[in-house]
Structure 1
Amino acid sequence: MDRDRFASISCSVARASGVVADPWALLVLRDLFLGLTRYDELRRDLGVATNVLADRLDRLVDAGLVVRAAYQQAPVRHEYRLTEAGHDLYGVVVALMAWGDRHLAPDGPPMLLVHDVCGHRTTPVVACDRCGGELTNDEVSVRPGPGGRHAPGTAVVAERLTGSVTG
């Protein structure tokens, strides 16, 4: 799949999907959030082929989500650390996990999240940054943004947002 084609679509979902919408990339991010930083740890945990893991790590580094740093020189071995942009994906990964726990975990969640601040088990929700209310499709409206445009990948969406039909 040509992931670069998503970068030109005037849609943040498309652009983000081009970077992280791959099961192995998301699992690498999950493991980095869990504190696994070394290539060997990631490979052992994920059970993924070395070429696949190397490719996903390269993509995450190229996208600015992860940095690679040598921790050993002979032979050279690297660890991988999340950048600020990578850390910003935490909510996305745990929201995806919460959805999977709800819809795809018949025996219960494989992992439980505990909020260290209050000590309680928690389930991630997407909330309004102003009032704290949960954001649901029924309670959110969308308006045109400054970066939106009528183009491939957003043609019908742009028409609905602006109320105008073109070509």
Structure 2
Amino acid sequence: MIIRDSFKGIARFEQWQESLGMARNVLAARLKHLVAHGIFEMRIYCERPKRHEYLLTDKGHELRPMILHMMDWGKRNVYGEEVPATGLIHSCGHELHPVSHCAHCQEALKRGDVTERLNPGAPSIGQLYERTPEGAEG
């Protein structure tokens, strides 16, 4: 079993491509999108030829809990009885199964615990997307 910190040290385009195994044009488009939305920032690491690395912003780091939940969901609902390519190990040494909880009372969330409150006059996601430069391009 190989244990590694997920994507730790991966910042350069070639590293992302090797790790993810996707076409260069697809990866370039996705990285451009993530930079445009403030998830990654580009930094030059070589002037000749000009090359960039992609580093998570604070906004990008805030996505980690959602990604961990999605990985856990995928393990249970996509892989089923099959062993997934990767697993999540907590620093205590046990397999990680993330749990959401209320920041106010610390109670773990269960089905039926959450209701939605409408906020009249708040912009829709579509309206917010139209305000971004990338959204304006289509």
- Does 2:107 align with 1:133? yes
Aligned partner of 2:94 in structure 1 is 120
Aligned partner of 2:3 in structure 1 is none
Aligned partner of 1:88 in structure 2 is 62
1:18-167 equivalences in 2 (<5 Å): 34-35=7-8, 36-105=10-79, 106-116=81-91, 118-145=92-119, 148=122
Residues 40 and 147 of structure 1, relative CA distance in 2, 3 Å threshold: farther
Flag the structure with higher helix content.
1
Distance, in Å, in 2 between the alignment partners of 1:84 and 1:147 is 28
CA offsets, 1:79-113, max 9 Å, x none? 11000111111111111111101111131343222
Q: Percent identity?
A: 37
- TM-score of the superposed pair, with normalisation by structure 2: 0.74
1:148, distance to aligned residue in structure 2 (A): 4.1
Greater shift after overlay, 140-149 or 70-79?
A: 140-149
Distance, in Å, in 1 between the alignment partners of 2:20 and 2:121 is 37
CA offsets, 1:114-133, max 9 Å, x none? 222x4433211221112322
Q: Which amino acid aligns with 1:108?
A: V
- TM-score of the superposed pair, with normalisation by structure 1: 0.63
* CA-atom RMSD in angstroms: 2.5
Q: Which amino acid aligns with 2:17?
A: R
* Structure of higher RCO (CA pairs closer than 8 Å, 6+ residues apart): 1
* Paired residue total: 120
